[in-house]
Amino acid sequence: MPWLREVPGAVLLEILVQPRASRTRVVGVHDGRLKVQLAAPPVDGEANQALVDFLAGALGARRSDVSIERGDSGRRKTVRVTGAGGAAVRAALLPG
């Protein structure tokens, strides 16, 4: 999957975010990235925090294990999830 890359001790997720959606959820893959709709607005880091909180909850990880590596101010982001395996992440974010 082009949106998920395993690195030593972590996985990197290529994500496309859509802020100000009706609710926070994964809606599939778009342009090689996992598309995540966020209810939070892109103001004062609220959308980034909402993304970290959502991913940590969905993956059963601590918030401190989820960090935005690139794309802090854009819609295209690279997120690192420390201590996670690729198969578990894939199953949690895109079930079925």
Q: Which two tokens stand for residue 42?
A: 């892109």
Q: Which two tokens stand for residue 30?
A: 């778009």
Other CB atoms within a 10 A radius of the CB of residue 1 amount to 14
Does the pTM surpass 0.85? The reply is yes
- Looking at this protein, which amino acid is placed at residue 92? A
CATH code, domain with 69: 3.30.1200.10
- Can you tell me the distance from the alpha carbon of 39 to that of 80, in angstroms, rounded to the nearest whole number? 21
- In this structure, what DSSP letter does residue 74 have? S
Q: Are 37 and 27 in contact (CB under 8 A)?
A: yes
> pLDDT under 50 in the chain at which residues?
none
Q: How many domains does the chain have?
A: 1
Closest Cα partner for 80 from 56, 60, 47?
56
Strand partners, 82: 10
pLDDT at 96: 67
Domain extent at residue 73: 4-93
